[in-house]
Homo-oligomer: A and B are copies of this chain.
Amino acid sequence: MTGTHETFIRKTIELAEQAMERSNEPFGALLVCDGEILLTAESTRFTEHDVTRHAELNLVSMASQELSPETLARSILYSSSEPCAMCAAAIYWAGIPTLVYGWSAEKVAEINGSTFCLPSREVFARGKRPTEVIGPILEDEALKTHQKHWNART
């Protein structure tokens, strides 16, 4: 399964690169069910002038509108970075039982200087329904995209 996880995490890194090319922050996410990508999303925070438009929140929003609860309950959400508390809680509300992420919340905060860090495992621990969390995966590859972005901003 690790090989499969790596393939999908590489795809989220591509989505993060795409977000960056569109003047947004480098975050990408996608939803997989039965080995197939159903939906992809990227950060649209700057282009939509909306602080809630993180890649994972965009993905969960689309997923809950377009897919059945039964499909969501069999899906895996892949994210280039570990989701923030806003996005982790959204994943829980959508009933998605598995999260796989590229680089960790702590690394994100370290590199981009974020002043807010609540790791996703701690968020999911407050839910009675279990959410499996796998990561970090390919942290070094994900990191390159981020360094490119934040170095360019300083």
Return the chain B residue nearest A86 by Cβ. Answer: B89
A99 CB-CB contact with B under 8 Å: no
Q: A56-73: which have CB < 8 Å to B? A: 57, 60-61, 64-65
Q: A81-127: which have CB < 8 Å to B? A: 84-90, 92-94, 115-118, 123, 126-127
Return the chain B residue nearest A69 by Cβ. Answer: B51
Return the chain B residue nearest A92 by Cβ. Answer: B116
A144 CB-CB contact with B under 8 Å: no
A61–B50 CB distance below 8 A: yes
With beta carbons under 8 angstroms apart, the residue of B49, B50, B84, B92 that contacts A89 is B84
* Closest-CB distance, A89 to chain B (whole angstroms): 4
Return the chain B residue nearest A85 by Cβ. Answer: B89
B50–A65 CB distance below 8 A: yes
A126–B85 CB distance below 8 A: yes
Collect the chain B residues with CB atoms within 8 Å of residue A93's CB: 51-52, 84, 86, 116
| Proximity string of chain A (19-50) to chain B, C-beta cutoff 8 Å, 1 when within and 0 when not | 00000000000000000000000000000111
